Amino acid sequence: MNVESALAESKKVLSNKRQAHVERVTEEALRLAKLYNANEEHVGIAAALHDYAKEFDQTHLSEIIESSDHLPKDLLMFNEELLHGPAGAELIRRQFNITEKNILHAICYHTTGRAGMSLEEKIVFLADYIEPGRDFPAVYKARELATQDLNEACRYTLQETIRFLMSKQQLIYPDTFHAYNELTKN
């Protein structure tokens, strides 16, 4: 599997609109990977496959999580938006025989973040938030921070996501708080 074949696989299962997002995330993630000397192969493949399961039906995604012996079942008790990352990573591991943990983790945690994210995980997490197709108030500062300080950019992204979810009285998955806390304490 390389970045091109990963993009071709996501194209098979995504709408044109979603695939265009995936392509922008991949480009942005590779730019950041160069800037921060990250593993470009891991970043590129993970970015290309990060939303692989985004358009699969929620029942199917729930079943994948229920039947997995390593994914946490509490994912099912929060927002249904949370399922496509972990279920996608599981599907990708099974279908494409990808065993590289760093790639699977970057896909799994791209929505929530987590404490202890690798450089490559942080890059995919951030690239998904700041890709050029995004347009909401916090994205401008996040883009600026992304080229200056990767950790601060992730911290700010987590802060704004928490703020956004709270403003809508939505549940927030604990990994998001753990990621925020880790990057906030000095």
Q: What is the contact surface with ligand DGI in residues (CB under 6 A)? A: 51, 54, 78-79, 81-82, 110-113, 128, 161, 165, 172-173, 176
Partner in contact with 105, chosen from ligand DGI, Fe ion, none, beta carbon below 5 to 8 Å by kind: none
Which lies closer to ligand DGI via its Cβ, residue 66 or residue 133?
Answer: 133
Closest CB 75 distance from Fe ion, rounded Å: 14
Q: How far is the CB of 41 from ligand DGI (least distance, A)?
A: 22
With CB under 5 to 8 Å by kind, the binding choice for 157 among Fe ion, ligand DGI, none is none
Least Cβ distance, residue 157 to ligand DGI (angstroms):
8
Q: Which residues bind Fe ion (CB under 5 A)?
A: 51, 128
The alpha carbon of 182 is separated from its chain's Cα centroid by a whole number of angstroms, namely: 18
Distance in angstroms (rounded) separating the CA atoms of residues 115 and 186 = 14
| Alpha helices for the chain (secondary structure H) | 3-13, 16-35, 40-49, 58-67, 84-96, 101-108, 119-130, 137-146, 150-167, 174-184
The residue assigned the tokens 């995919």 is: 124
Using CA atoms, how far apart are residues 80 and 58, in angstroms rounded to an integer?
Answer: 7
